[in-house]
Amino acid sequence: MSSLVHQTVDVLDCYEGRDAAITFTLYFCCLLSGFYPRKSKFHRSLQRVFKRLEDCRVVLRLYDDLTILRDFFTYELRPGERNWFVRTLKCLHYIAWFCYYPSEHISWLGEMKMVDIDSKLWEFYTNFFWSMALLTSALWNAYVVLQYISQKNYPKEKEEEEKKSFIPWTAARNAMLATVRDGTEFMVAVSYLPRGFLWSSTLTYIQIGMLGTCSAFLRLYALFKFQEDH
């Protein structure tokens, strides 16, 4: 029991763990609210909690631009990425995040009435770049999983040739989790886009809550189960 408490404290003590816990809570509130009539007091209360926790996450992300910049240059300066497909998707992924954060900041400032902007337009930019960042992440991780599966069938000669680029089980495991995690969150992100984009504006509170809770749970699971990797 004390080990679980200690592990929980360690997870919540890091930025990623705290963000995942907040995300899990807000989507769980959205999920619960869907089981009550929209005009009921409990539905409105849960939606208020959902919105306040969303605002909390926006504030926590105010200075994440520098982190993405660091991650991009760390990746770009790291030699050895031989696969052009993965490299292209990762570059697009970082570019999407680069665009996402300023868009979200501007949208947030507009919501606070600090700048005069078209809030609907900037909200669209924010959700569009969020969707693109998640989609590229899910695609490159799915590709890594497929590569891991295909390398199991390599003949001995090719196995020796490709030894340096072999994908270990830990990388494939993380890629599988990331594919499902970002894939489910991508479905949530698209639902916030204006009507006409795929399934945008059609998901119910229960569906959004279920997908978001699943994505956040996988983030928490990875932090608890494979904490030494983070």
Residue 135 is encoded by which pair of tokens? Answer: 């989609």
What is the pTM for the complete model shown?
0.89
Residues in the chain: 230
**Average pLDDT of the chain?**
88
**In this predicted structure, what is the pLDDT of residue 197?**
87
Name the pLDDT band for 80 (thresholds 50, 70, 90).
low
Q: What is the pLDDT of residue 198?
A: 87
Alpha carbon distance 22, 153 (integer Å): 42
Q: Give the pLDDT score at 67.
A: 84
Reported as a pLDDT band with limits 50, 70 and 90, residue 20 is very high
Instruction: Report CA-CA distances (Å) from 52 to 36, 46, 57, 142, 223.
Output: 19, 10, 9, 33, 24
136-145: average pLDDT:
94
Report the C-alpha gap between 77 and 117 in whole angstroms.
Answer: 37
More confident residue, 168 or 211: 211
Helices (H), the chain: 2-13, 15-33, 41-60, 65-76, 84-111, 119-151, 156-161, 169-191, 205-225
Q: What is the pLDDT of residues 1-11, one digit of tens each?
A: 678 788 888 88
Residue 156 has pLDDT above 70, yes or no: no
How far apart (Å, rounded) are the C-alpha atoms in residues 189 and 192?
Answer: 6
- What is the model's pLDDT at position 79? 54
Q: Which residues contact 113 (CB under 8 A, 6 or more apart)?
A: none
Name 26's Cβ contacts closer than 8 Å, sequence gap at least 6.
Answer: 49, 50, 53, 54, 57, 212
Who's near 152: CB < 8 A, 6+ residues apart? none
**What integer is the mean pLDDT of 61-68?**
85
pLDDT mean over 40-68: 91
Q: How far apart are CA 132 and CA 94, in angstroms?
A: 10
Average pLDDT rounded to a whole number, residues 195-222:
93
The pLDDT of 148-162, averaged and rounded, is 68
CA distances 79 to 22, 87, 132, Å, are: 36, 11, 25
Q: What is the pLDDT of residue 102?
A: 92
